[in-house]
Structure 1
Amino acid sequence: MSSSNQDYLFWISVAHLVPQIGFVSSMLFGVILLFLTVYGASKIFGSYKYLLIAFTLLGMAFSTIEIIVFPNVHNYRAGFLFFSFKETFGITDIRYWNIPLAAYTFFSATISLLSVQFIYRYWAIFDNSKLKYFTGCYSLIWVGYCTFFGLQYALGTFFFLKLDEPAAYYLREEMLIRYHVNVTDLPSMALVAYDPFDGSVRWFNLMGIVSIFVIVNVQYSIMIYCGWSMHTQMEDKIKNFSENLKKHHKQFFKSLVMQITAPTLILFIPISIINFIPVFNFDISFPSGALLCSFTLYPAMDSMIVMYVVSDYKHAAKKAFRRAKAVFRDKSVSRVESTTINSHR
């Protein structure tokens, strides 16, 4: 794929258009979900309601950062470049212009929060007493948990994937051919697995991959353990619960499974390909940012999944619609009566 001299500017347009669609849809469905959660959700949600709110807000924030930074990725043989064509917030100092790109990678906090939701659902079924850790000052534990992994991901990319002279040398010609830009003129971070001068392994760069691998797999391990335990043992644990509570647990478990399936397909599989393929040094060249940008659709998908699966949201939506319809009807009647009175004067 690298023999052609074709440029990839079309894919830059795609990588910019998809986030804009993701931003609009995430804001629309996010606001609807927040409204229904705050004003229409059943009291049975308990403190889980705040996790749903936090997860939705974090997804909306991520969509906003995406259209501010507009990050792109390009894979070339034993390396990849994570870059942007924009000097975000007008940052021109080369020492700081990668900070917005690193801040974008804070999205790992979103997946950390999803693993926290699995922990909550797991304890709600198997050890209800531990739900106290989601109330009051204890809830700061989870804020710290998500912040820690978000910062680890961001700082890992910022320091381990710093564009140095060998990486710039290796990617310069490729970026000129594909995007007509000099790699050193862009806010960018890079991974080059092997030194282009002597062929030695660039271990410092590869530590960036190791950091990402560890962070992602910690979250997945938690979700797989909690999810599998709920799948195999939930029926026995909730057999004495009320029918309403049984339905509640089953619906939220189903929504969590769907919520983790979506980012796995549209984020972590593409990220794994982007991160690990340089190790094999294949003769490839492709605009991988076109794969990565699909994740911006996830916050909207997440909101739709919750509203579709959890029946409380359907009931709340119907109730809100009836109220809005009644208010509109009352205003229409009042307007007609006012017009009639004025016509008889």
Structure 2
Amino acid sequence: MISSSQNYLSWITVTHFVPQIGFVSSIFFGLILLFLNYHGAQKMFGSYKYVITIFTILGMLFATVEIIVYPNTHNYKAGMLFFSFTESFGLSGSKTKNFPLVGYTFVHSATMSLLSVQFIYRYCLVFDVNKLQCFKGWKSVIWYIYCSFFGFQYAVFFLYWAHDEFSPEYFREEVLLRYNANISSFPAISCVAYDPVDGSVRWWNVIGIINVCSVMIVQYGVMIYCGWSMHTKMADKIKHFSKNLRKLHEQLFKTLVLQITAPTLTLFLPASLIMLLPILNLDISIPSGVLLCSFTLYPALDSIIVMFVVSEYKTTAKKVFKVIGKTIVEFNQSRNEPTAITSAP
């Protein structure tokens, strides 16, 4: 009999419920942002509207993948288990059941990478507008390659871990104890940093952890560099801009600050903790999926940040609501008008 203090099945409910909130909110606010982006709010943005559009769509895709795969994590001593109790797309074969989990890691890394691309764009917008040509036409392909490169870099090691025969055995008793399940019966990818017998380093697993963390460090480093450069140099750079353009840049900088804070709390810190714990080899057993499920909240937060800070979106929203309100009033008036009765001759 498993005691309630040992059983983590209740956390599975949480890690399924939070992504559902993230999915609904990401789709709802994402669609509103896309609508406003192409109905007036785009006037002063130029090609930046396409960057916002792509990032919003990718965020909605990420939230969708989250509720299809329902990924979860568990940290135990020198190991990290990445798993799901859902067989996505009906893939149940031993060689195919982990593909959705690997695909999730690709989308997760690509989303982080595209976030840093937003910062690069805004940096160029202020300090080197000539480089904005790289975001137009066929040259914009470079950013698709950029995001895909880091997506594959993430996914390759998870695919490698999916074929590691040693690591699942490391978690077999732990999974039975905590989740009352057989690790072979559901999609699961595991990584163990040290051999539990002799304590030797399992180098390919450690290298994989370092690689995944390095992807996050690169993206976060780009964001910090661009954000700090704009903080220290932007005031002098935009003082000769028009009043409206200067106001827009100031609003976009405020958006940057929030867009560093939000992913730090929902993306980078949780992911870093989950990935680095195996290297520390602590005597712990943590249902870290409660940290992983916070990822899906970020796309909605990003859409809200943009619409809340940038006044063009608020102005456009007011115009749209005014038109909708006027249409509703006119419709109700037309329904309440008395019907003319024509008498027969």
TM-score clears 0.5: yes
In the TM superposition, 1:162-201 aligns within 5 A as 162=162, 164-201=164-201
In structure 2, give the amino acid aligned to 1:43: K
| Structure 2 residue 118 is matched with structure 1 residue 117 | yes
Equivalent residue runs for 1:67-216 within 5 Å: 67-106=67-106, 107-159=108-160, 161-162=161-162, 164-216=164-216
Q: Which runs of 5+ in 2 are unaligned?
A: none
Q: Indicate the SS of the match to 2:81.
A: strand
Rounded Cα–Cα distance in structure 2 between residues aligned with 1:144 and 1:279: 31
**Aligned residue in 1 for 2:311:** 311
Match of 1:341 in 2: 339
Structure 2: how far apart are the matches of 1:217 and 1:50?
A: 26
Shift of 1:162: 2.5
- How far has the Cα of 1:183 moved from its partner? 1.3
Residues of 1 paired with 2:243 and 2:42: CA distance?
A: 15
TM-score normalised by length of structure 1: 0.95
Whether the 8 Å contact between 2:72 and 2:83 is mirrored in structure 1 is yes
User: Cα deviations across residues 192-241 of structure 1 (Å, max 9, x unaligned)?
Assistant: 11112332111111122111122111112211111111100000000100
Structure 1 residue 85, shift from structure 2 partner: 0.6
C-alpha contact (below 8 Å) 2:29/2:303 kept by paired residues: yes
Match status 1:270 vs 2:270: yes
Query: Can you list the C-alpha shifts for 1:60-83, whole angstroms capped at 9, x where unaligned?
Result: 000000000001101111111000
Please give the alpha-carbon distance, in whole angstroms, between the structure 2 residues aligned to 1:292 and 1:323: 41
Contact 1:79 1:278 in 2 (8 A): yes
Q: TM-score under structure 2 normalisation?
A: 0.95
Q: After TM superposition, give the deviation of residue 156 of structure 1 in Å.
A: 2.3
- Following the alignment from structure 1 to structure 2, what is the Cα–Cα distance between the partners of residues 102 and 65? 11
| Structure 2 Cα separation of the partners of residues 164 and 144 of structure 1 | 29
1:157 aligned counterpart, secondary structure? helix
Give 2:245's aligned residue: 245
Q: How many residue pairs get matched?
A: 340
CA spacing shift, 1:261–1:12, aligned 2, 3 Å? same
AA partner of residue 266 (structure 2): I
Query: How big is each residue's C-alpha offset from its partner over 1:116-146, in whole Å with a ceiling of 9 and x where there is no partner?
Result: 1111111111111111111111111111111
Alpha-carbon displacement from aligned partner over 1:289-320 (angstroms, at most 9, x marks no partner): 01110111111111110000000000000000
Partner residue, 1:24 = 24
Q: Distance in 2 between matches of 1:245 and 1:272?
A: 37
Question: For residues 4 and 327 of structure 1, do their structure 2 counterparts lie closer, same or farther at Cα, with a shift above 3 Å needed?
Answer: closer
Given the superposition, is the C-alpha separation of residues 45 and 181 from structure 1 closer, same or farther in structure 2, using an over 3 Å criterion?
Answer: same
Paired with 1:86 and 1:301, the residues of 2 have a C-alpha distance of 26
Whether the 8 Å CA contact 1:23–1:63 is kept in 2: the answer is yes
Residue-by-residue CA offset, 1:250-293 (whole Å, 9 max, x unaligned) = 11121122112111112211111111111122111110001110
